[in-house]
Amino acid sequence: MARKSSRSTSFDVAALAGVSQSAVSRAFTTGSRIADETRTKVLEAALKLNYVPNSIASSLTTKRTNIVALIIGNLDNPFYVHVLHTFSRRLQEQGRQVLIFTVEPNSESDEAIMHLLKYQVDGVVLTAAQLSTRMISLCHDRGIPIVLFNRYIPGSDASGVRCDNVAGGALIAEAFLAAGAKNFALITGDLKGTTSQDRVRGFVGRLLEGGVKRTRIVEVEGHSSYEGALNATAKLFRDQNRVRPDALFGVNDIMAMAAIDALRHRIGLRVPEDLMVGGFDDIPEGRRLPYQLTTVRQPIEQMVDETLQLLHLDDPTEPIPRGIDRPIKGRLIWRNTIPVPLSHRWTEPEIQS
């Protein structure tokens, strides 16, 4: 037996209210010419029939679905969960919804694009994943704006919003320098990702500027994950002959946390007494008692705001922004994994929420 999908339509409502179907449509469209009295009549009838406008049908004519696609590659990193949550909340406030596309971390999301095209989404946000330039123009040609969150694709005309990762990496380098570190280790993330590359570049660049020799900086791959960073840290300390670093930069917080765990529980080193460590992102987990991680905070709210602005959801007549790059400065949050140098003691105290 087929399911009785007794969904009433605008015609049903019109009949009950004794008006035309277009009146019903108008009653549900804010800012359309309709007498208050008529609207009330319609709304009452609608309530009786449990009528809810079919937005699938309306988007056929309006060409707006009020759906935004979010392609996300790494839900294991709490940072991106937070990003997802922020987007969802903001969009819901505007009467829009997030259609989620999960892809393998750092894999091509071309297939996802092909799918979201079918859904006629109003815009797409791409985060923690790769994308070919072909797909970008495929979207743009159809009038679908796409903005990259925290990554950019060299040679493409896609716009993007990101944390200023180079400057952020430099912030950690400065903190290490100020705390008197001499030998540095670096756990990098996804090698293909611009996010990790930039943080590394900013970090190393600032160190070099500060007179640190290249040989005093070791790099290991952490693959942006907790497990990856665990292995990376082990590798770092396997070679006993090498000089032991006294400062370690985890290119994101989960890797920095993994490093701390490995240091304490496997290597037997104390943080920050034996080794200081810095992170990047400022995920809530890094604030927890065992970590109290000194890190660079990414201003998620602001980044999401800028992203939404670039999407021009409210005005589809706006031309799609192309080639725009909005780097947003992060802020160093002093906590306990880097000793605070005396000169910094009384500045920038963190207001704990």
The kind and range of the H/E element at 186 are strand 184-188
| Region 126-145 residues binding DNA, contact defined as CB under 7 A | none
Find the part of the chain contacting DNA (CB under 7 A) among 18-26, 147-155, 203-211, 240-248.
Answer: 18-26
The partner in contact with residue 25, picked from a second copy, DNA, none with C-beta cut-offs of 5 to 8 angstroms by kind, is DNA
Binding mask 241-260 for a second copy (x = CB under 8 A): --------------------
- Tokens 């743009």, residue located: 140
Q: Verify binding: residue 78, a second copy, rule CB under 8 A.
A: yes
Task: Assess whether the previous peptide bond of 272 is cis (omega < 30° from 0).
Answer: yes
Give the interface segment with DNA, choosing from 4-12, 181-189, 198-206, 279-287 (CB under 7 A): 4-12
| Cβ-based nearer residue to DNA, 62 or 92 | 62
Nearer to DNA by Cβ, of 65 and 197: the residue is: 65
Task: Choose among 113, 156, 193, 212: nearest CA to 325.
Answer: 156
Residue spans of beta strands (DSSP E) within 38-145:
67-72, 97-102, 123-127
The whole-angstrom separation of Cα 30 and Cα 43 is: 13
Please report, as residue ranges, which positions from 37 to 96 form the binding site for DNA (by CB under 7 A): 37-38, 51, 53-54, 57-58, 60-62
Contacts within 8 Å (CB) and 24+ apart, 78-81: 78/253, 78/254, 78/283, 78/284, 78/285, 79/252, 79/253, 79/254, 79/281, 79/283, 79/298, 80/127, 80/128
Q: What is the 3-state secondary structure (H, E, C) of 209-264?
A: HCCCCHHHEEEEECCCCHHHHHHHHHHHHHCCCCCCCCEEEECCHHHHHHHHHHHH
Binds a second copy (CB under 8 A): choice among 11, 40, 44, 60: 60
- Give the C-alpha separation, 289 to 297, whole Å: 18
Residue whose entry in the numeric block shows the structure tokens 């947003």? 328
Contacts of 36 (CB under 8 A, 6+ apart): none
Q: State yes or no: residue 6 binds DNA (CB under 7 A).
A: no
Window of 19-27, 240-248, 257-265, 269-277 that interacts with DNA by CB under 7 A: 19-27
The yes or no reply on residue 114 touching a second copy (CB under 8 A) is: yes
Query: Binding string to a second copy for residues 269 to 288, with x set by CB under 8 A, is what?
Result: ---------------xx--x
Q: Which of the listed partners (a second copy, DNA, none) does 177 bind, with a CB threshold of 5 to 8 Å by partner kind?
A: none
Q: Which of residues 161-200 bind a second copy (CB under 8 A)?
A: none
State the pairing for strand pair 217-221/67-72. unpaired
Residue ranges in 221-240 that form contacts with a second copy under rule CB under 8 A: 226, 230
Q: At residue 231, what are phi and psi to the nearest 5 degrees?
A: -65, -40
97 or 302: whose CB is closer to DNA? 97
Of 56, 35, 64, 52, the C-alpha closest to 314 is: 64
Which residue, 115 or 344, has its beta carbon nearer to a second copy?
A: 115
Question: C-beta of 72: minimal distance to DNA in Å?
Answer: 27
| Interface pick for DNA out of 25, 97, 292, 302 (rule CB under 7 A) | 25
Part of the chain binding a second copy (CB under 8 A), chosen from 123-131, 164-172, 196-204, 315-323: 315-323
Q: What backbone torsions phi and psi does residue 97 show, to the nearest 5 degrees?
A: -130, 160
- Residue 141 tokens read as 């040609």
Under the binding rule (CB under 8 A), the answer on residue 322 touching a second copy is no
N- to C-terminal Cα separation, the chain: 56
Closest distance to a second copy from the beta carbon of 341 (Å): 25
Residue pair 59/118 in contact (Cβ under 8 Å)? The answer is: no
- Tell the smallest beta-carbon distance from residue 126 to DNA (Å): 24
Which residues make up the interface to a second copy (CB under 8 A)?
Answer: 1-7, 50, 52-57, 59-60, 63, 65, 67, 75-76, 78, 81-82, 84-85, 88-89, 92, 95, 97-102, 114-115, 117-120, 138, 141-143, 226, 230, 261-262, 264-266, 284-285, 288-290, 316-320
